[in-house]
Amino acid sequence: MYSNTQKVWRLILLALVGFGFIHLMINRTSTALIMLAMIGIIFYLYKRPPQWLIRLSYPQKGGAGMRSRHPSPRDRKNKKTSKKKKHPFRVIDGNKKDTLRIKKSQ
């Protein structure tokens, strides 16, 4: 998936980030703990968002369970497609040469 040079650069980058974080923990413990807490809260809310946050992200039009007086364009399109004629599937013969059919059947 990754070439050897990409793996090496990724390891170097992760090592430098780890070294920087250890240095931050030694010199400024409170800043590092606050940073870790913020990252943890963001990750938790990303994985398990509460219902109020979901409702803010995707507002509903008209309220839950209410039908609007006028059908939306999507509903109108669904009605048009449901009025299609119900025909069985038909195969239309093409202009293929009969020599190919003969070879397959032999």
- Structure tokens of 58? 């995707």
The pLDDT score that the predictor gives to residue 42 is 94
**When comparing pLDDT for 71 and 3, which is higher?**
3
pLDDT over 80 (residue 28): yes
Report the distance separating Cα 102 and Cα 93, nearest Å: 16
pTM over 0.75: no
- Structure tokens of 103? 């070879």
Share of the chain above pLDDT 70, in %: 67
Q: Which DSSP letter does residue 21 get?
A: H
The pLDDT score that the predictor gives to residue 16 is 97
Domain segments of the chain as ranges: 1-59
The pLDDT score that the predictor gives to residue 27 is 94
Contact 98, 106 (CB under 8 A): no
pLDDT over 70 (residue 7): yes
Q: Which DSSP letter does residue 91 get?
A: P
